[in-house]
Structure 1
Amino acid sequence: MTFTLLQSPDSIHRHSSFTKFWISRTLSSTSFQMLSVAIGWQMYDLTHDAFSLGFVGLAQFVPMVLLTLVVGHVADRFDRRKIVFLCQIIEAAIAVLLLLGNLAGWLGRDQILVAAAIIGACRAFEGPSSSALLPQLVPKAILQQAIAWSTSAGQTAQILGPSLGGLLFSVGPAFVYVTAAIALLVAGILTFLIQMERITRKLEPLSMSSIFSGMVFIYRRPIILGTISLDLFAVLLGGATALMPIFAQDILHAGPWALGVMRTAPAVGALVMSIVLAYFPLKKAFGSTLFGALFVFGLATMLFALSTNLLISLVALVFIGASDVVSVVIRSSLVQLQTPDEMRGRVNAVNSLFVGTSNQLGEFESGMLAGFMGAVPAAFIGGVGTIAVAGLWMYLFPSLRRLRSLTEK
């Protein structure tokens, strides 16, 4: 892929570095999706225990919560490129260990949980460091486009990773771990080769105040606080996609193939929209566009809840993915542009925690609500809730609603 959109008077090596960054992020995210599929399947194959399967997800999620303040501080004090490189190499090493455990026959429940926890810890460091690194690779004028391309990397991984992981696992677990290890190694090499101008940051002395300064920074800036918290609560209530297995089997009366297509549909919509935004970036009325995207997200979720036709459900899921990306690109661009470089690691760490929490808890909320009142009412209420949160945030954060420039304070 040639990033011809990155046309500016800036030096060519920055464009080349962004290309390396994009490929590295795509390979790393795809490998993570592949490993998640393989680890989950192998855990259940070994234990036939649903609780053990749940612990795999918990092992990956807990490090992100526990390490949030630490990873942000690390990303602001050290070379972010080297942090991402080190995380990718450690993840590759874990894939190799999983491979050896399979071949030697010593891989069991405890070893899988340890591997999942280490991968989760690496992702906890890699995510905020990678997000904070991006503004160093491109000029501010095209940061929104770069974020759109970066978002497309994640969506590409969500489409390719699970399907590729499942396909390779059907041949043999070793094939998944070998492929993931090679991809992560290549990702690490590309990250190491990224060239960028060295930025001298004003480092605060390590203290409790500096560790919590990211949260204080966000709290004191209503636009950033409104942006980050909006994702948490809006996505928390709109997690209807977690109920896809129920809709595929009981509502749409379709087979596993339909579930696979349904899981792919939001990522396809997101990928298409991220490419559109990369070539046709938003120029004005960012606030109204942000809230408009959330209204579309809520309405699409309600349509998905009420649909009894697979085609209509797929269209709704595509709109869910596409509208979510509009929101993501605006929010990410806003946070990056309004945060000084010496604070980006800590602010992105908090942002990553909010995003991860909203996705995880959103699935939990949807599942619990569906258990009490059924999948259709739960999904529909989730869509209504997203619209209600968007309306409430328009009232609570008027500066965000009236936002016309990503650099407004």
Structure 2
Amino acid sequence: MKEFAEIFKNASFTRLFIANVTSQMGSVIGLTAFMFYILDRFSEQPAYATITELMFSLPTLAVFFLVGVVADRLDRQKIAYYCEMIAAAMSLCVLGAVLIGWMPLIFMMLFLRSAVQKFFFPAEQGILQGVLKKEDYTTAAGLNQLVNSVFMLFGNAIGIFVYWTVGIYGAILVDVATLTISGLLIKSMKLDEGVRKPNGSYSIKELNIRFIWSDFMIGLKYILTNKLLLALIYGFIAFGVVNGGFSVMQVFILKYKLAPDNYEQVSIYFGIVFGAGVMIGSFLSSLLTQKVKLYKLIILGAFYIAVMTILASYSTNILVFLTICFFLALGLPMINIAIGGWMPTIIEPKMMGRVQGWITPLMMLSQSITLGIISIGYPNWFSIEIIYWFVGACFLVVGGYYSLVLPKLAKEKEQKDELARQKEVQLNY
């Protein structure tokens, strides 16, 4: 808790953190409400719920080569601000599409809104890396994980409550309001030019297709020459599959197996139980990061979550399912906090955007493929249990791969960092 109090003394971090929380709140409420709106309106067509999730992941594949270059070459603060404001306007367009009631138009508006927001994360991560000290990265990752656990704890409940009280239209308006607040907070930040433009000043006119592609490939070369970063990214591809499965399989197992008559109410309980598990796990993992090497936490977390995910598929009633999901949630922060605290120490600040420009589309590609397979194959070709087994198998593969390569690569990085520190001390002396 002392570390959390210290990091909030940084005014730039505090505003960025509040902006991120506000933006997430609206998105969670909007997405949850929209998911239940689709399930209520098209209860006999579960593919629509999966397609909705696809509209949030597929846009990455349309803009993947732009987001990282834009974040590294243009003003990161302006990018983050305009992303939020344009996304708010696009949410109003989604509202109009829902009023019309034509599903292709609704999906198109969701796609465009999501495409705009894909530019936000690389810019926000670049700003975050610029306003924090290296020793604060893991603390910030732990804090973000704690906030995510709060959203897991109350997000579904709030989203469903908003949906029940003011309907899908009210939920979308909440999304618009929170995105606007987030954008204004980001605009109000006072940031040094080095944080906003780590690679110097560029104009949009300079970012022609040849320049963008060349810069994008520089990001790829940077990844390929950094063995540790490359090894982590291989695992992220499998995490994309996991994200695709997790985004729909929890509500599917409730609606189509365990609680078909009251799955909305049980989803609230699930959010509370899962969020409580992640919150407790966040505190425990934050303590473990001070005593256990980060790569060991990632490996341990992957194997633990694999076992719990597979066990969840065998649930015969709601109580057993919620109990297993609570213990599953305890392990998620091990991976998220460890990776979140480790990645900024591996990636140079001037390359953060272009690296994220590769990581995000790779994850989203595997996530989109997974969602596409689910939308086509479930429930005709495979059962909900198969989805759980597949996600669990992905965690097992990642855990096995990381246990083979990360210890050696982490040791090599420590040796390089120590040599660099010694050289710096000698130069200063």
Shorter-normalised TM range? 0.7 to 0.9
2:80 to 74, 77, 84: 84
**Cα separation, 2, equivalents of 1:161 and 1:251:** 23
- Residue 25 of structure 1: aligned partner: 20
- Residue 58 of structure 1: aligned partner: 54
- Residue 138 of structure 1: aligned partner: 132
Give the residue type in structure 1 aligned to 2:180. Answer: L
Give the residue type in structure 1 aligned to 2:213. Answer: M
RMSD after superposition: 3.6
| Stretch moving more, 140-149 or 41-50 | 41-50
- Residue 220 of structure 2: aligned partner: 215
- Residue 233 of structure 1: aligned partner: 238
Give the residue type in structure 2 aligned to 1:386. Answer: F
Deviation at 1:238, TM superposition (A): 8.3
- Residue 254 of structure 2: aligned partner: 248
Equivalent pair of 2:295/2:410 in contact (CA under 8 Å): yes
- Residue 379 of structure 1: aligned partner: 388
Equivalent pair of 1:337/1:407 in contact (CA under 8 Å): no
1:190 matched to 2:178? The reply is: no
Give the residue type in structure 1 aligned to 2:361. Answer: L
**Cα separation, 2, equivalents of 1:220 and 1:395:** 19
| Stretch moving more, 357-366 or 111-120 | 357-366
- Residue 313 of structure 1: aligned partner: 321
Equivalent pair of 2:91/2:113 in contact (CA under 8 Å): no
TM-score, with structure 2 as normaliser: 0.79
Provide, for residues 233-275 of structure 1, a one-character-per-residue CA deviation record: whole Å limited to 9, x for no partner.
2562686644334543665467413344335543432233334
Deviation at 1:374, TM superposition (A): 3.6
Provide, for residues 50-109 of structure 1, a one-character-per-residue CA deviation record: whole Å limited to 9, x for no partner.
46655443333222112112000000012222211111111222334445667xx54643
TM-score, with structure 1 as normaliser: 0.83
**Cα separation, 1, equivalents of 2:415 and 2:283:** 20
- Residue 362 of structure 2: aligned partner: 354
- Residue 201 of structure 1: aligned partner: 198
* Identical positions, percent: 17
Equivalent pair of 2:289/2:338 in contact (CA under 8 Å): no
Equivalences for residues 46-195 of structure 1 within 5 A: 50=45, 54-99=50-95, 106=100, 108-170=102-164, 171-195=166-190
Note the residue ranges of structure 2 that are not aligned, 5 or more in a row. Answer: 419-429
- Residue 292 of structure 1: aligned partner: 300
SS of the residue aligned with 2:4?
A: coil
1:34 to 25, 29, 38: 29
Provide, for residues 283-338 of structure 1, a one-character-per-residue CA deviation record: whole Å limited to 9, x for no partner.
54222221011111111112212333533422322333332222122223222111
| Stretch moving more, 352-361 or 121-130 | 352-361
**Cα separation, 1, equivalents of 2:163 and 2:253:** 26
Deviation at 1:16, TM superposition (A): 1.9
**Cα separation, 1, equivalents of 2:295 and 2:407:** 9
Equivalent pair of 1:236/1:365 in contact (CA under 8 Å): no
